[in-house]
């Protein structure tokens, strides 16, 4: 079984709650739950699988704690790491930048050598554009607590199941 860290940044607690739900569903793997606010790089180096959670603020902006940490992420060597991403956004107020922060993290971790897993079909989502959409798929799990909160648990369940093949 691989070592797993669920690393998130959360200003309104929505990303934290999503991270906790993912951790619950992966409890048999004993994932570490890490708030990026602490600025500690240790979890990135100590774990084989990184599940990164970020929300998009405004238009195309990373959540503040991720923004503060970003310069460290840009310098990391993530070769050999498996990364899964989940992102929160508001598809109605920001339909032209829905979960863009997830796309920003995807681009950065990919450039740093990580293997990204956990793509999700855009079917069932309403938005106009997303930087997190690559080759017709989201690069991770998009969640919209503002408009689709009733779908969050089902989406997390399905996504976590799809990740398990990368965790053994």
pLDDT per residue as tens digits for the range 32-77: 999 999 888 999 999 999 999 999 987 778 999 999 999 999 999 9
Q: Residue 33 belongs to what domain range?
A: 4-166
Distance CA 143, CA 156 (A): 9
The reported pLDDT for the residue numbered 98 is 96
Find residue 32's DSSP bridge partners. Answer: 5
Residues in Cβ contact with 72 at an 8 Å cutoff, skipping those fewer than 6 apart: 39, 41
Tokens read off for 133: 């959409």
The number of distinct structural domains making up the chain is: 1
Longest dimension (CA), the chain: 41
Average pLDDT, the chain: 96
CATH code at 90? Answer: 3.40.50.360
Q: Rounded to the nearest 5°, which phi and psi values hold at 122?
A: -80, 0
pLDDT tens for each residue of 12-27: 999 999 999 999 999 9
92 alpha-carbon distance from chain centroid: 20
Residues in Cβ contact with 126 at an 8 Å cutoff, skipping those fewer than 6 apart: 91, 92, 95, 147
The reported pLDDT for the residue numbered 123 is 97
pLDDT tens for each residue of 89-134: 999 999 999 999 999 999 999 999 999 999 999 999 999 999 999 9
> What DSSP character marks residue 162?
H
Q: Give the pTM.
A: 0.97
Confidence tier at 31 by pLDDT (50, 70, 90): very high
Distance CA 150, CA 159 (A): 16
| H or E element at residue 14 | helix 14-25
Distance CA 134, CA 91 (A): 17
């Amino acid at each position: 079984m691989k070592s797993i860290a669920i690393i998130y940044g959360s200003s309104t607690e929505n990303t934290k709650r999503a991270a906790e739900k993912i951790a619950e569903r992966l409890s048999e793997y004993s994932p570490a739950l890490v708030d990026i606010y602490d600025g500690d790089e240790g979890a990135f180096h100590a774990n084989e699988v990184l599940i990164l959670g970020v929300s998009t603020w405004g238009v195309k902006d990373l959540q503040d704690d991720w923004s503060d940490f970003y310069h460290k992420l840009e310098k990391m060597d993530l070769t050999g790491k498996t990364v899964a991403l989940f992102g929160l956004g508001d598809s109605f107020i920001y339909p032209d930048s829905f979960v863009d922060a997830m796309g920003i993290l995807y681009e950065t971790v990919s450039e740093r050598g990580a293997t990204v897993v956990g793509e999700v079909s855009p079917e069932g989502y309403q938005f106009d554009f997303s930087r997190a959409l690559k080759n017709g798929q989201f690069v991770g799990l998009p969640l919209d607590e503002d408009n689709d909160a009733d779908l969050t648990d089902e989406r997390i369940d399905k996504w976590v199941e799809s990740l398990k093949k990368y965790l053994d």
